[in-house]
A and B are shown apart, each in its own frame.
Chain A
Amino acid sequence: MSVTNKEVLYLASLVRMSLSEEELNRLGTELSQVLEQFQSLEKLEIPEEATASHPHGKRSVLRPDQPGDTYSLEEMLQNAPTVEGNLIKVKAILD
């Protein structure tokens, strides 16, 4: 199972993450090595009903929607890289 640099670039584009040339080359090789370890799963026969997204099943955790105090504006904005007035400033999303 080998992963090409082109595939790694495509995956990086899906998650919007830049990679240097060196990282790109290394990740291709490493990913292939790691995926080789996963081939064992192919041999595993799975009964129809088996699936798990949580170790002990799901239960309803719905609760009444009750308004309450959370954080002040200052606290919510304190870590934002660029703030203008009461707003977080971002680059234009549409060209």
Chain B
Amino acid sequence: MTKISTPLHWLTIHETADLLRSGDITSSILIDHMLDRIRVVDPSIQAFTTLNDSTSSPPGSTAREQANEADLIIQSGKSSPLTGIPGQLKDNICTIGLRTTCGSRMLEDFYPPYNATVVDKLLGEHSVIIGKGNMDEFAMGSSTENSAFHPTHNPWDLDKVPGGSSGGPAAAVAAGESMYALGSDTGGSIRQPAALCGVVGLKPTYGLVSRYGLIAFASSLDQIGPITRDVTDSAIVLNALTGEDALDATSIHAPTSDYRTSLVPDVAGLRVGVPKTLIAQITEPGVRDAVESAISLFENNGAIVDRDVTLDYYDFALAVYYILAPAEASANLARYDGVKYGLSASAETMWKALESTKGLGFGPEVKRRIILGTYALSSGYYDAYYRKAQQARALIIQEFSALFARYDVLLSPVTPSTAFNLGAKVNDPVEMYLNDVFTIPSNIAGIPAISIPAGFSNKMPVGLQIMGPWLGESQVLQAAYFYEQATQWNHYHPELLTD
């Protein structure tokens, strides 16, 4: 037997998989440990909306039962890298019989009749679903304060936000409550919370991962991706998620079957572009220092770095996003009529019931975006806003495509500053939206981008963003792996009172 010196909850997927295979631990022991950990830690973090235990899940599919099954698979020698490993799912990813709220009163009692494709894929590998992650309502927000149920707290400082909208998943992974999580990223919702919580968050190429069963926010921008403790785990989870899906017409065939083969800590000759426009918009000196020293590290290890990259259309990206995403949302959210599922308000007439259902079911940010999107799509404004934004989107896509003919990856910050205090921006939508300035362009262009831990500023984690060309996950992961191996920032954990 090997002596296990690190507490189980701080291990990575690949470390844990080795222990499971060697028989040093069982998945059942691991899941019991994680559920205990959640019981102790989560009252202060509040990263979960629902735990997958006997109080909330139908018999046969609780985390403990999934772990027992995983142990049988491991004993039979047929395990895969995720077998027996606990993962949390953002609460907009549908799970049969396990409540899926989307952070909204509208879906507070929604029990999906089907699994998202990614859930079937994870369960196919006998990963264990430990619970559902808190999020901004309908994934609209950058702080998880828009959850209809409760905010989530940043494990590095409980007075600060974990970022959003996948704040629950990022906080759960950072606090040792789950070994990995799946988030969704429409304008930065995986990468921004990953950066603010000091974990790894990957937004894959649009279409690489099926969106079937992901509750729609903005369908041309939404993408599911992994939140993990290190880059190796990111590749492992991505391996499990990719693939064309007949149930999602926008899904595409994955060019690589094993992203772990990209994990080579070498950037000699790698062509790295640094958009100077983005560096100039960092508002916190400690974030600038961290990003600058990351760039130098690439340079000193043989990468060919160009710090003078200009982005002609970048200035328009935020406007494009905040027109297109709400426009798509206003169409997607029209389905919540209180008839087929979801909250249903009673009223004398059908129209009144419909109006009250939406009035009661949606929170302030969701209403704001529905109205904004309806405005952009309405007669008289369609050409000035929606059409113009779609055209600008085409120019942004072309610009990135031209850039990636010259560079293998682009480096940038993930956020202008580290995590802000709970409540600081909740009443200022424009200020909140500005949090996404660095992450939005890759959603608009549909390209992959990762956030990896890059040190600390004022004791809070800083993220480094690496963007790659369409389907360029391999080079993004290779650059990220090099940086992680050279710096080891992934070995830092928040000191929670219970540790």
Which chain A residues have a beta carbon within 8 Å of chain B's beta carbons?
3, 7-8, 11-12, 14-20, 23, 26-27, 30-31, 33-35, 37-38, 40-42, 44, 46-47, 50-56, 61, 63, 71, 75-76, 78-82, 88, 90-93
Q: Let me know if B388 and A46 touch, CB within 8 A.
A: yes
B390 close to chain A: CB less than 8 A: yes
Which of B342, B358, B388 lies in contact with A79, CB distance below 8 A? B342
B356 close to chain A: CB less than 8 A: yes
Tell me, rounded to whole Å, the shortest Cβ–Cβ distance linking A66 to chain B: 10
Rounded to whole angstroms, the CA-CA distance of A8 and B367 in the bound complex is: 11
Interface 9-mer from B38-46, B65-73, B347-355: B347-355
Q: Let me know if A55 and B206 touch, CB within 8 A.
A: yes
Tell me, rounded to whole Å, the shortest Cβ–Cβ distance linking A39 to chain B: 8
Residues of B within 8 A of A81 (CB): 338-339, 341-342, 344
Rounded to whole angstroms, the CA-CA distance of A82 and B316 in the bound complex is: 46
Which chain B residues have a beta carbon within 8 Å of chain A's beta carbons?
110-111, 113-114, 206-207, 220, 246, 249-250, 252, 313, 315-316, 318-320, 322-323, 330, 334, 338-342, 344, 347, 349-351, 353-356, 358-359, 362, 364, 367-368, 370-372, 374-375, 378, 384-385, 387-395, 397-398, 429-430, 433, 444-447, 470
27 contacts between A and B (CB under 8 A): A11-B375, A12-B371, A15-B334, A18-B358, A20-B359, A30-B429, A35-B375, A37-B430, A38-B322, A38-B385, A41-B323, A41-B385, A46-B388, A51-B390, A55-B446, A55-B447, A56-B446, A71-B114, A75-B113, A76-B113, A78-B111, A79-B342, A80-B339, A81-B341, A88-B340, A91-B347, A92-B350
* Chain A residue with the shortest CB-CB distance to B112: A79
Residues of A within 8 A of B113 (CB): 71, 75-76, 78-79
Residues of B within 8 A of A61 (CB): 249
Residues of B within 8 A of A17 (CB): 355, 358-359, 362, 367, 370-371
For A8, A14, A15, the residue with the greatest tally of chain B CB atoms inside 10 Å of its CB is A15
Q: Let me know if A56 and B390 touch, CB within 8 A.
A: no
Residues of B within 8 A of A11 (CB): 371, 374-375, 378
Residues of B within 8 A of A76 (CB): 113
Which of A16, A31, A55, A90 lies in contact with B397, CB distance below 8 A? A55
Tell me, rounded to whole Å, the shortest Cβ–Cβ distance linking A10 to chain B: 8
Q: A15-B334, A19-B359 are in contact. Are A41 and B392 (CB under 8 A)?
A: yes
Residues of B within 8 A of A88 (CB): 339-340
